[in-house]
């Protein structure tokens, strides 16, 4: 399903309908003219088309033969209504040529084609404070991201500041058509950060139905919304206000711990990255070896801080004698340079 097919959910739909409507009216007008001249004056199809064209264009070449009374009445009415049609068509074309609507349609088609080629991407619903921050982190991490937002001005302002194009779908994220336009059936994760909890519940419910394997992260303002979002299909629920309050309290009670945590995923030369490496991502020669034999610390400088077992349990600071098994995930902490060295040496 293309973006154009469900453009009814986009705020530009009125202009697109005007353009299509003007084209349809033009063809109807030509058909009425050809039919009228053939009916009232007995012209052949070629003659009727000729008379229709000179009548619509008002060039005044004259009739092929004198009109009957019925023919003159038809031409009078036909010219009057065509003046209205032509004025409408000119106004629509002027809008598209000078207000950039035609360029927007071409951009929409390019975006549609790009999204059709996406798979294993991330969808961010809502581009407010939380949504834009999520997009920034995902983009910085190299993820392919599609943003769903109703207010195009938000995305335009962000794109101008960041100086890169955001792949986006303009529409209501709670609508099936909008999620399908964003490629929800091929996505690996969805973040819904809409302002209203009820909308986030609806997005989670709809997205889960469209893609049962999708990982869904939802924002909530109220504690009572958490259980609703989880029942609707969200895998995790984040409450920014609650996190912010806890963070401020911990800055008082455990300031050094918080400063260390801020380095993870932060900015600047001391930035640390917390990455995960699954068993299947390891090169063949490293699979089946113990953590001691992998010796990631000595080889790259990064540190294994955890091991998520395929059964679901988590080992913090796992023993060096543990051998990762298929389905296990290693949690590794290090600087950008250390993580890059790790990926070069160990990952496929």
242-286 pLDDT, tens digit each: 887 887 888 888 888 777 777 775 655 567 888 889 999 999 999
Task: Please list the alpha-helical segments (H only) found in 163-295.
Answer: 176-181, 197-210, 224-232, 240-253, 255-263, 291-294
CATH classification of the domain holding 329? 3.30.70.1450
Q: What span, in angstroms and rounded, lies between the C-alpha atoms of 29 and 248?
A: 69
Kindly compute the dihedral angle of the four CA atoms of residues 278, 280, 286, 287, in this order, to the nearest 10 degrees.
110
The domain of 316 spans: 264-346
Q: Which residues of the chain are modeled with pLDDT < 70?
A: 1-17, 19, 60-62, 95-108, 159-160, 162-163, 265-270
In this structure, the answer to whether residues 86 and 155 fall within a common structural domain is: no
- The verdict on residue 157 lying in a domain is yes
pLDDT at 102: 57
pLDDT at 97: 63
Rounded alpha-carbon distances, angstroms, from residue 192 to 162, 223, 225 = 22, 16, 13
Domain total for the chain?
Answer: 3
In this structure, the answer to whether residues 130 and 211 fall within a common structural domain is: yes
- CA neighbor of 82 nearest in space, from 48, 57, 64: 57
Domain boundary among 77, 103, 129: 103
Kindly compute the dihedral angle of the four CA atoms of residues 198, 199, 205, 206, in this order, to the nearest 10 degrees.
150
pLDDT at 101: 58
- The verdict on residue 110 lying in a domain is no
In this structure, the answer to whether residues 227 and 134 fall within a common structural domain is: yes
In this structure, the answer to whether residues 77 and 129 fall within a common structural domain is: no
- The verdict on residue 231 lying in a domain is yes
- The verdict on residue 226 lying in a domain is yes
In this structure, the answer to whether residues 183 and 209 fall within a common structural domain is: yes
In this structure, the answer to whether residues 229 and 149 fall within a common structural domain is: yes
In this structure, the answer to whether residues 72 and 167 fall within a common structural domain is: no
- The verdict on residue 108 lying in a domain is no
CATH classification of the domain holding 42? 1.10.287.70
- The verdict on residue 113 lying in a domain is no
pLDDT at 204: 95
pLDDT at 267: 52
Q: What span, in angstroms and rounded, lies between the C-alpha atoms of 278 and 326?
A: 8
In this structure, the answer to whether residues 270 and 296 fall within a common structural domain is: yes
In this structure, the answer to whether residues 279 and 198 fall within a common structural domain is: no
- The verdict on residue 109 lying in a domain is no
- CA neighbor of 171 nearest in space, from 148, 145, 194: 148
The reply to whether the predicted model has a pTM over 0.85 is no
Task: Please list the alpha-helical segments (H only) found in 117-196.
Answer: 129-140, 152-162, 176-181
In this structure, the answer to whether residues 124 and 98 fall within a common structural domain is: no
């Amino acid at each position: 399903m293309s973006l154009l097919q469900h453009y009814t959910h986009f705020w530009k739909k009125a202009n697109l309908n005007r353009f299509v409507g003007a084209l349809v009216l033009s063809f109807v007008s030509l058909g009425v003219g050809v039919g009228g001249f053939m009916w009232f004056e007995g012209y052949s199809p070629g003659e009727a088309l000729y008379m229709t064209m000179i009548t619509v264009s008002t060039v005044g070449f004259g009739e092929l033969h004198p009109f009957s009374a019925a023919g003159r009445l038809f031409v009078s009415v036909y010219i009057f209504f065509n003046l209205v049609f032509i004025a409408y068509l000119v106004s629509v074309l002027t809008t598209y040529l000078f207000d950039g609507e035609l360029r927007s349609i071409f951009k929409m088609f390019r975006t549609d084609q790009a999204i059709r080629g996406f798979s294993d991407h991330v969808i961010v619903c809502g581009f407010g404070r939380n949504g834009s921050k999520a997009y920034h982190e995902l983009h910085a991490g190299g993820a392919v991201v599609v943003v769903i937002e109703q207010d195009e001005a938000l995305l335009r302002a962000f794109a101008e500041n960041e100086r890169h194009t955001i792949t986006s779908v303009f529409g209501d994220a709670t609508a099936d058509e909008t999620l399908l336009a964003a490629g929800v059936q091929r996505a690996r994760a969805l973040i819904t950060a809409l302002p209203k909890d009820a909308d986030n519940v609806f997005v989670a419910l709809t997205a889960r139905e469209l893609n049962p394997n999708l990982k869904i992260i939802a924002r909530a303002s109220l504690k009572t919304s958490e259980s609703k979002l989880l029942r609707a299909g969200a895998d995790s629920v984040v409450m920014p206000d609650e996190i912010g309050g806890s963070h401020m309290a911990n800055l008082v009670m455990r300031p050094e711990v918080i400063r260390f945590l801020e380095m993870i995923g932060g900015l600047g030369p001391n930035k640390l990255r917390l990455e995960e490496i699954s068993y299947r991502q390891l090169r063949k020669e490293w699979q089946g070896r113990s953590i001691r034999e992998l010796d990631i610390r000595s080889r790259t400088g990064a540190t294994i801080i955890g091991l998520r077992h395929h059964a679901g349990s988590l080992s913090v600071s796992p023993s060096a004698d543990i051998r990762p098994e298929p389905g296990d995930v290693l949690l590794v902490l290090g600087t950008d340079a250390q993580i890059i060295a790790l990926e070069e040496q160990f990952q496929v």
